[in-house]
Amino acid sequence: MSQARYINPYTDFGFKKLFGEEGSKDLLIDFLNQLLPCYHQIANVYFRNTENAPDTAMERKAVFDIYCIATTGERFIVEMQKAKVKYFKDRALFYTTYPIREQSEKGNWDFHLEAVYFIAILDFEYDEEEERRKFRRDVCLKDQDGEVFFDKLHFKFLQMPLFTKQEHELVTKFDKWCFFLKNLANFDHIPAILNEAIFQKAFHTAEVANLSPEQRERYEVSLLEYWDWYSVWQTAVEEQRSAIEKSTTATVLNFVAVSMKKKGYAWAEIAELTGLSVEDIEKL
């Protein structure tokens, strides 16, 4: 089915193959360290169960793509989000309550918390105009003067469609990771700018030929799901665009018809010029 040399990292299988397996967690650590401040750099992590059972029957289950804890205590939820979902920011905040609450589960707790990071790699753009201009958003709690109030809850959002740097424009290691993720499915060789040990391993991990038959089958299913989603999304976008165009055209024609009525044009003339029915013109 797939003719590409490397897996698509936007698929569920592809993302977890790159960043969610014990054998490739050094890739995750290197990627995370490009996003983290110097005082939260991590040397090792261990993965936690990505499903959190609800406290009550009424509480929605939270399922994370990747949930890991650094040996120094920081918690990380890493999500690859393919499509826009309603209340995405609310969902992100809700997810961070799990690694916060679980810190109170053992022994006598004095309310000391380790840092929690929610990192979202988004294969879409927000609707808000201000946010559409920002590829990367780093969010934490600040006061009215813009000073950090609490440095243990962080949100990092990467809107991948807004990352447009080409190979010759890459400067930082973070740039390289974003370039890698954005273009991986289209590469047929390792670009010179990414020819270093960590990316060589990433390419080796992502090479379809290196998958076992069982992994290949799972990837094909995941890829089909991604293509199905993309097709649905494209259809929705085209239908919305068409509806907007029709709505705009109808608004203009109605405005013209009303103006002509006010100037005394006959309804038959208005209908001929605008294409509206006489009945519709009468209602305007």
Q: By mean pLDDT, which of 127-141, 182-196, 252-266 is the weakest?
A: 252-266
**pLDDT-based confidence at residue 186 (cuts at 50, 70, 90):** very high
Distance CA 213, CA 257 (A): 65
**pLDDT-based confidence at residue 277 (cuts at 50, 70, 90):** confident
Averaged pLDDT for residues 223-239? 68
Verify that 116 and 178 share a domain, yes or no.
yes
Tokens of 135: 């590829």
Overall number of domains in the chain: 2
Judge whether residue 198 has pLDDT over 70: yes
52 in any annotated domain: yes
Judge whether residue 264 has pLDDT over 80: no
Averaged pLDDT for residues 113-120? 94
Tokens of 22: 């014990």
Tokens of 184: 């991986």
Verify that 141 and 274 share a domain, yes or no.
no
Q: What is the DSSP string of 139-201?
A: EEEE-TTS-EEEEEEEEEEEEGGG----GGG--SHHHHHHHHHHHGGG-SS--GGG-SHHHHH
The percentage of residues in the chain with a pLDDT greater than 70, rounded to a whole number, is 79
Verify that 137 and 16 share a domain, yes or no.
yes
Instruction: Check residues 12 and 241 and name the one with the higher pLDDT.
Output: 12
Verify that 80 and 197 share a domain, yes or no.
yes
**Cβ count within 10 A of residue 33:** 16
Inter-residue contact 68 to 29 (CB < 8 Å): no
User: What is the extent of the structural domain holding 96?
Assistant: 12-211
Verify that 177 and 269 share a domain, yes or no.
no
Name the region of 8 (left: φ>0; alpha: ψ -120 to 50; beta: rest).
beta
Verify that 48 and 153 share a domain, yes or no.
yes
**Angle, alpha carbons 154-158-160 (nearest 5°):** 170
Judge whether residue 30 has pLDDT over 90: yes
CA 101 to chain centroid, in Å, comes to 25
Verify that 136 and 259 share a domain, yes or no.
no
128 in any annotated domain: yes
**pLDDT recorded at residue 59:** 45
Verify that 206 and 254 share a domain, yes or no.
no
Residue range 45-84, pLDDT digits in tens:
999 865 554 454 434 455 678 999 999 999 999 999 887 7
